[in-house]
Structure 1
């Protein structure tokens, strides 16, 4: 009997869940990718930081030197341009408003300047500048030493007078410096009485052909503006750059600290020494410079060194800036070494965090893929439910399934149309609400009287100012009390008919003057500007306009008229007296007078 050999059962392959397989594959991809990117980023970060630590200070110092060059070379060029313009009669020192506009246009071309000005030997001063908020203003003498301050628009036109003071250009340090040196010069740091800030000024005199001083032109640069530029420089998280003059005074700094201070008991601002700065790093750096160099005038090249501050190494670069006008400043760049090493550690922490986030994202993606088929239909149902509850922002993404994608596009078109319709309706409602609020605010707060009156002579509405002009306690009282404007308001009733004829024939009336009664029976003069409001068919709905009380103006006109009439009578009387005198003194009159005298003598001699 044959025996069959038993076949061992096949070993079944391990079964894996699709969700687990996809999740593991995503996690491995993320770990490998993020790990490789993190390692390369770390190595590249080390190389970049090592190079950056050598270049950042030189780059910042170069940019600071460049801005100093722009400030101190632009001003002399603009001043010389203004002198040339005066020589060629392109500007007129007597036309102050035109010169203010000219200065404003120059500052818009050269934004590094805070102000342009000119002073004359008679004390006249014309200044145009900009404030810290960018607003333009002018400070110009009116006469003698009286100066007025104006707010200007971007074209340099005067908008409003905002103040006045006493000012004599000849007493200012920039004027005296220009007259003494007789050439373009830069002042030391001083407080400008015009902008109430510390700064420096470039100034140059202009002499005519006979050597007579005509004017002193100048430009003003605020220390605060230089500090504002330095604050925009990207040094490092805790680094800073500041500028010193050869005496150690702090001219500008990127820390936001004001380079000047108002001392107790004093009215003028004073520049502070860098060693007295409230910023610890600025103060310690300045003290280290004083200890190392003693005299800042010895610094004529680039110096690099470091010192320790509270256990942290501070890298310092000092570079001297000089120009042909004899000015010298020190640009100091301080960068804590910790700023660079901190970036490396921060990069490592970021890489680890990205790895963790990547693993979590991979797990979430694996779970979401398993629900890929049901998710689009669920989104459609949820979006439809949201729209039914008033949420019009629902939007469906596209789907790789053709049928679902068509449904999503149709749904999105419907949602977009509904959203556009509701948005347009909301915008119209908001515009209408704003217009109503704006009109109501103007109506209630206007200083002039605003009214709407029917063609039959009743007030439809009046504002509080209108009621006050007519002596009523409220607008409602005035509307209720006046039922016939022709009889109750107008002193001359025919004026109401004249007003109606004018507004109906011309659709509006301007400067219509008439006398009206107030509530207490007193009479005032008013001026009315109004127009007619019609419906779509052309029928008159009401008259709408503004009303002003001009009684005082009329009184002044009447007084002036009486004065003119009295003066005319007096002049006529004097003319007649002068004519009589001229006749009696004439040769002809004297001849007649002599003949009459002779005739009287003859008659007397004939009498026995």
Structure 2
């Protein structure tokens, strides 16, 4: 029988016989005919045994690696939790860097069993503290101040204390570091991407955790801990796999994390910034490189691997077993652990047996091959047609269908394939429409988000410009008003009425300046631009001043004033004295103002943990505050019903005070009961200091002329406002300086080029050319370095000082300024020496001083007008130095000796003595009749 006849016979029979029967009968003949059946099965069993063994070995390796990574990376989480708890429990605060360095050092020592590379934190203002373990096992402390300052590295002793500076790098801002940004974005613990060390280039992995203020939810900073990736590679190298097996870890983008060979996971460059991560497909190790390429081609995208994959492929004709284990955690890690074991490591003996078996099976396979060819030919022809149609379908050719010629399983398969093609065509059409609609929605939403972002950026920019303009436009004219009032008040030819008019102008200007400062202070707080200016001071002295300040005011209202200071409160401490004084003055002044009977008390207590915590409590027996007004009590420009009826204040005092307390690390609370009184309570964190750390305040002196035999100094005054130029001209010209004026930066450059002044008073905001450009132009010349340039600006922002100095200015003064500051700056930068009025350091030093003291008698005070005496008492109570000077000058027209005596006390800041003299005079019989 020919082959064609045989095919026709088979086709005729197959049309009625099920496909399963047609396939089983021929292959049963082959199976029974195969002499080498046993050898074949042995070979297959050997392969399966090896496959099972390799799978178990790979599973064990991957599980061990995963457990090691979990243990290795859990330590940073424990450290971050410890730091977070330390903050929440009050053990340390973000503005207390010394205690934090101690905390970080202790944690580094406790984690010696699983050593950390870096443990640190960054503040929300850009400050940074970190303890780092170097490669040689030593430690350093790296630190940067708030606002982004120089990055300083210290060596440490065996107790973790900084010893010496070993390096200072450029400006460092923690808010720009990867660990800070990923924690803020995640609003919780999160891993950074792998990134290089800024100095060594070594790959690092950081776990960062943000810390928020419990009550307000305000971000205070980020604590973090860092591991090196090389530690993982060292562990992988220690694993015993097989003769040539390897294990490596890569990220979902294909970047190599660690491997068990000697290859680094990055391509090192001359600069750390140019350093690149090494992709697994670019590895110099052949097994790693081909495995990565195989996984990429197999899955297309590594992100599609969601579960353990057991795979194999051929490399140089040899089978390689691959197991891929996804490794993820809830903090953002998403790695793949890949174990590779060549089959040849286990198949040498099996391959030897296989060669023997092949020879035995060869004859039997020849017969089986003949039968198999005929069977395969009959089965594969319709299958090939289906394959061709499926290929066309995969290429997007959905129009064609197959002709159904059979009624068996292949016929059913063909009909099913045709139906599937129709359904796919409909599904693709629907999907295309859905994609078009989705793309339109995405574009629309993107445009909306961009518009919202632009609006937010514009609002922030407008607010910053508003603050700058407010500062300049309001403080600049006040500088002229107060300055000229001060100059006119020094003239000896003024009548009493003129002096009184000047006093009214000065008092009104000072009051307006205080209001402006309060509004700008509140605006700076809302914009997050207020800073903490810490200094060492005597707390006992501050409280005594406050008690003396408000004692007379309380006695005038027949109120009892009590200052209760706990014995455990330290006398000398460090915090922002000015802001603490302002908060206490606001609270005590409100308490006395709104209390008509009973008393007012201030209680100060301390608590000590890792730091000192001072608690202040101001209690009064006033009318109290209604419950519905308590919620709005600290809002700006909001006053209670009692406050409105008093017709005093602006409603800013409590709002600013509360923000000052928050800035000092505390919180202010209030409790009140209508008809019984109110209690304001707040606490702040402080650092005790020694008495030797307190600076002694020097008494001011008034310049009356220049010392003889000095050069004739040339001074250039640059300001677009005539009144401001004229003020400096009137202040400096009587002393003998050569003066010229310029109304803008361009004129200043022209005068400087021809006149070569020794010093320039430079306004920074001017038309035509501002002070910044003019200063840069002058300082770029060699001769310009010999000219001192001092900026005069109405800005209230601290950061403005850094901008001015970076432009080339030698110093910085704010408007309104005091004439003492002007003369001191000229002495500092030119070496000008002055002749001052008589010294005020000692009241009993000369006979003239004794005469002044003899004038401080009740009889002398009795001759003064009642209003003038009351105004002096009010100014001394509020420690308003400008107003005290004005009233003392007014007294000079009535009694020069009395005025000189009071001036001596004021120059020595002896305001309590002035108040005592006024009270004694009021109790004197002659004063009582007038008062």
TM-score (norm 1): 0.47
TM-score (norm 2): 0.32
